[in-house]
Amino acid sequence: MTNPRTTSTSRTAQAAATSAAGATSAAPAPQGSAQAPPVRALAALEAARRRTELLTDSVDEHDLTAQHSPLMSPLVWDLAHIGNQEELWLVREAGGRPGLRPDLDHVYDAFRTPRADRPALPLLGPAEARAYLAAVREQTAEVLESVDTGPDQPERLLADAFVFGMLAQHEQQHDETMLATHQLRVGPPVLDAPEPPPAPADVALLPREVHIPGGAFTMGTSTEPWALDNELPAHSVEVPGFWLDTVPVTNGAYAEFIAAGGYDEPAWWAPEGWRHVREAGLVAPLFWDRDGEGWTRRRFGRTEPVPADEPVLHVCWYEADAYARWAGRRLPTEAEWEKAARHDPATGRSRRYPWGDADPGPEHANLGQRHLRPAPAGSYPAGAAPSGARQLVGDVWEWTASDFAPYPGFAAFPYKEYSDVFFGPDYKVLRGGAFGVAPVAARSTFRNWDYPIRRQIFAGFRTARDEETPGGGPGPARGGGRG
Ligand code: AVJ
Ligand code: FE
């Protein structure tokens, strides 16, 4: 392709679908992948790069360098930051090479300059940034050919090709961030993708909630080779029995909360949430607009009616928390969420994914930007957890009740600025991953976090209740509305 910016939008979207599947089509394996570490590493890095190109080649120079929201970096900052982190951690630190542009470190250090101030930095232009990423990737390929990535390699960055997996996940996380920038960008649509499959026939028969029996389960992991530091180590957690929504809360259920005056009733809101909702003037999820009695939403440059049966998206933690209280319920804790997503009561062990240990396929979960929206609530029966809960991985990030905290025995690796500096009460944990999360960065142990006021991330939620709390009862799953 000579000029990638002239490719049709549907072709670019198909490219995302292919890249997402490409990195993860390995045969099931109990731990990690059946592929040898270097093969898996190269495939994961290449899949990430195809997606980076899709997201940055689909807009013109102006859109690459503009700031589309003070919450986000210019796309061209994310682009070169991807290359700089690869140079820093893979080429220099793990590969022991001098690197290409150590002088760029301070420009692309996320901690030096907050997102709102990044347009003022002396950034590489789009063409320079693309050339820089290509040059770094050449060195990465040389490092991969010259090092031992076997499990017995004593250098921890290299064992099981961890640093390659870490950088593939880092690039994919910034791809997700850039997808959020695309969603915030105002202008004609440039991304396109096939619609997710319609809801399966049994959706109307699903119970509204599933029961997770009480007892200990293994949270976190000490064996997943590409797990990031905050997922380690595996440890036992006692979780009392509870009930969890079978599916995420839907737009239809959330619209009932709005119609019932949910945004005007302080009793439903945490005190700081009430202050925020008043000050910011929130009345509905981000990107929603009134349309007579109903609602429309803007999605990647298109305006459409809000689909009632789809998991709600672009709500902040305070909105999720208020909805749950209105519904007579609460958000699940992080431990409850992970137990529901991993614990197999038949064997007593924790799975890699809700459906088992096999890497995610298109039948399991809505991941990898194959689609540009969540699938209807109740989709992906093949991805169900042992409890019967669906869509725990994929579709929408799910807010949990929990603050972001280290597990017992946590040790920062390889740098404190990935997780360590964020631990504490300022951030709430999100789990499961959304439609724009790559399979390589989606696991039942993966932890995401953000401020409780943030709505630009692809976040929804589901609700829970204690065994002793009345509620639930019969009736179809409708995403945790009043039953
Ligand atoms: C895990 C999504 C909160 O974007 O701030 C990217 C991921 N860390 N580069 C973020 C990350 C460093 C991180 N989140
Ligand atoms: Fe980063």
Predicted pLDDT at 21:
34
Q: Whose CA is nearest to atom 9 of ligand 1?
A: 170
Cis peptide before 197 (omega within 30 of 0): no
Dump strand ranges (E) for 280-330: 288-291, 294-299, 302-305
Q: Is 19 in the pocket of ligand 1 (CB under 6 A)?
A: no
Out of 78, 118, 170, 173, mutate this one to test ligand 1's pocket (max ligand atoms within 8 Å of CB): namely 173
Low-confidence winner among 27-36, 352-361, 414-423, 455-464 (lowest mean pLDDT): 27-36
Q: Is 449 in the pocket of ligand 1 (CB under 6 A)?
A: yes
Alpha-carbon distance of 91 to 139, in angstroms, equals: 6
Q: What is the pLDDT of residues 226-283, one digit of tens each?
A: 999 999 999 999 999 999 999 999 999 999 999 999 999 999 999 999 999 999 999 9
**Is 454 known to sit in a ligand binding site?**
yes
**Three-state SS across 185-197?**
CCCCCCCCCCCCC
**Is 245 known to sit in a ligand binding site?**
no
Neighbours of 17 (CB within 10 A): 16
- The answer to whether the CB of 465 falls within 8 A of the CB of 472 is yes
pLDDT band at 13 (very low <50, low <70, confident <90, very high): very low
Query: What mean pLDDT is predicted for residues 54-72?
Result: 97
Q: Is 173 in the pocket of ligand 1 (CB under 6 A)?
A: yes
Predicted pLDDT at 7:
33
Q: Does residue 17 surpass a pLDDT of 70? A: no
Q: Does residue 354 surpass a pLDDT of 60? A: yes
Domains in the chain and their CATH numbers?
A: 13-184 (1.20.120.450), 199-483 (3.90.1580.10)
Q: Does residue 22 surpass a pLDDT of 60? A: no
pLDDT band at 9 (very low <50, low <70, confident <90, very high): very low
Query: What mean pLDDT is predicted for residues 65-90?
Result: 97
Q: Is 170 in the pocket of ligand 1 (CB under 6 A)?
A: yes
Q: Is 448 in the pocket of ligand 1 (CB under 6 A)?
A: yes
Predicted pLDDT at 144:
98
DSSP state string for 15-35: HHHHHHHHTT-PPP-SSS-SS
Q: Whose CA is nearest to atom 8 of ligand 1?
A: 418
Q: Which H or E element spans position 324?
A: helix 317-326
**Is 431 known to sit in a ligand binding site?**
no
Q: How far is the CA of 110 from the centre of ligand 2 (A)?
A: 7
Pairwise pLDDT comparison (222 vs 470), residue with the higher score: 222
Predicted pLDDT at 23:
36
pLDDT band at 472 (very low <50, low <70, confident <90, very high): low
Q: Is 81 in the pocket of ligand 1 (CB under 6 A)?
A: no
Q: Does residue 475 surpass a pLDDT of 70? A: no
* Burial degree of 344 (CB within 10 A; 0-12, 13-18, 19+): middle
Q: Does residue 341 surpass a pLDDT of 90? A: yes
Predicted pLDDT at 346:
97
pLDDT band at 34 (very low <50, low <70, confident <90, very high): low
Q: How far is the CA of 417 from the centre of ligand 1 (A)?
A: 9
Using the atom order of ligand 1, give the atom closest to the CA of residue 177.
4
Mean pLDDT score of the chain, rounded to an integer? 92
Predicted pLDDT at 447:
99
Query: What mean pLDDT is predicted for residues 117-138?
Result: 96
Amino acid sitting at position 58:
S
Q: Does residue 5 surpass a pLDDT of 50? A: no
Using the atom order of ligand 1, give the atom closest to the CA of residue 422.
3
**Is 170 known to sit in a ligand binding site?**
yes
Would you say the C-alpha torsion 8, 13, 17, 22 has a positive or negative sign?
positive
Predicted pLDDT at 469:
85
**Is 280 known to sit in a ligand binding site?**
no
Q: Whose CA is nearest to atom 7 of ligand 1?
A: 173
Q: Is 415 in the pocket of ligand 1 (CB under 6 A)?
A: no
| Residue appearing with tokens 């999360």 | 437
Q: Is 422 in the pocket of ligand 1 (CB under 6 A)?
A: no
What is the number of residues in the chain? 483
| Residue appearing with tokens 């989606």 | 442
Q: What is the pLDDT of residues 200-220, one digit of tens each?
A: 999 999 999 999 999 999 999
Amino acid sitting at position 72:
M
Query: What mean pLDDT is predicted for residues 347-363?
Result: 98
Q: Whose CA is nearest to atom 12 of ligand 1?
A: 418
**Is 81 known to sit in a ligand binding site?**
yes
Q: Whose CA is nearest to atom 14 of ligand 1?
A: 448
pLDDT band at 470 (very low <50, low <70, confident <90, very high): confident
**Is 329 known to sit in a ligand binding site?**
no
**Is 450 known to sit in a ligand binding site?**
yes
Q: What is the pLDDT of residues 297-339, one digit of tens each?
A: 999 999 999 999 999 999 999 999 999 999 999 999 999 999 9
Q: Does residue 366 surpass a pLDDT of 80? A: yes
Predicted pLDDT at 35:
85
- Number of H helices and E strands in the chain, helices first, is 10, 12
Predicted pLDDT at 3:
34
pLDDT band at 19 (very low <50, low <70, confident <90, very high): very low
Q: What is the pLDDT of residues 390-420, one digit of tens each?
A: 999 999 999 999 999 999 999 999 999 999 9
Q: How far is the CA of 173 from the centre of ligand 1 (A)?
A: 6
Q: Quote the percentage of the chain above a pLDDT of 90.
A: 89
Q: Does residue 31 surpass a pLDDT of 70? A: no
